[in-house]
Amino acid sequence: MTRILGVVRTLWRSALLAGVSLVCAVACGSSDPVQVAMGPAPAAPPAQEAPHPVKPRTAEAPDLDGAVEHAVADVGTLDLGLSVLDLETGARSGSRADVPFRTASLSKLIIAVDVLSRGDVDDEDRDRLRRALSLSDDEAMNALWDVHDGMGAVDRVSELVGLTTTHAPEDSSQWGDVVTSAEDLVRLYHYVLTALPESERDFIVSALTAAPRTAADGFDQDFGLLAPGLGAYAKQGWMWYQPADLYLHSAGVVAGRYVVVLLTVHSGVDEETAREQVTAVAKSLVSGLVPNS
């Protein structure tokens, strides 16, 4: 098997898949990790002022169940896990929200919560965290995973936040193979926005808000919740898992109010088609949550 996670490692002696990267072959890790030679990674984007996570509103709450039903109506055989939380009302909805998926680069958010929740983070680690969250920099994540006991971090965060599906990978070198669910990632975002110290919450939100279109490995992050016009900040994930599965994930906050997690696996389709499918689901969902968006 091979994967391309927002990482850049190689898995199972698979053939290199150019242009996409994560924790596997072709830009990702493997049982026998092989680092892919690359030019210098771009500088991390400058920190931006973090928006307040929840904006008080007086308008009538939208129909979350209806928005989800509309968003998944035309997905066909797409392997999709979707979960939504209204931060203002506490209402939740989803589709296959508890189904387990490999995280790809979404595990970077788990590591960030572990490191920041334990305090005393030095400048070097803050830079690594910023790069991992915004640029989806795999080299930064590799260092964080090794230095901060990535396997243990997954367990610590699961206990801290109350995650029920999330667990560490079988292969300790493959952080993209952490297992989670859409529902668990909604819980994780809720923890970030309501339980982390304000400075650490703002650090994460600022890093995600600063995500550039092009990731450190050259992958285009402009899909799903980060498609133009959706008013969201998000962590993206992508990973090829050979022979023909492409994991594409988008998890973030829309309009400062709705935590949305989209986890998908695409089989037998090209990358552009997969990106269009995720973006179509995201746009359909957001149109139901934020009218006239």
Q: Count the residues in the chain.
A: 293
What's the burial of 1, exposed, middle or buried (CB within 10 Å: 0-12/13-18/19+)? Answer: middle
Measured CA to CA in angstroms, residue 135 lies from 41, 64, 105, 290 at distances of: 9, 31, 11, 27
Reported as a single tens digit per residue, the pLDDT across 154-194 is 999 999 999 999 999 999 999 999 999 999 999 999 999 99
Residue 258 to residue 67: CA distance in whole angstroms? 12
Residue 3 dihedral angles phi and psi, to the nearest 5°: -145, 155
At residue 47, the pLDDT reads 52
* Residue pair 85/94 in contact by the 8 Å Cβ criterion: no
pLDDT score of 75: 94
Tell me the pLDDT tens digit for each residue of 37-59.
334 445 555 555 555 454 444 45
Q: What local confidence, expressed as pLDDT, does residue 243 receive?
A: 84
Which token pair is 85? 């939380």
How much is the pLDDT for 52? 47
Please, which residues bridge with residue 84 across strands?
93, 260
Distance of CA 140 to the CA centre of its chain: 15
Crossing angle of helices 198-209 and 182-194, rounded to 10°: 120
- Torsion-angle region of 98 (φ positive above 0: left; ψ -120 to 50: alpha; else: beta): alpha
The CATH H-level superfamily of 64-289 is: DD-peptidase/beta-lactamase superfamily (3.40.710.10)
Burial label for 194, CB within 10 Å (0-12, 13-18, 19+), is: exposed
Token pair 């990790």 is found at 33
Domain map (residue ranges) of the chain: 64-289
Are 254 and 290 a contacting pair, CB within 8 Å? Answer: yes
In a 13 Å sphere around the CA of 74, the CA atoms on its Cβ side amount to: 12
* Residues 6+ positions from 90 with CB-CB distance below 8 Å: none
Q: 252 by DSSP, 3-state: which?
A: strand
Below-50 pLDDT ranges, the chain: 1-2, 4-41, 52, 54-58
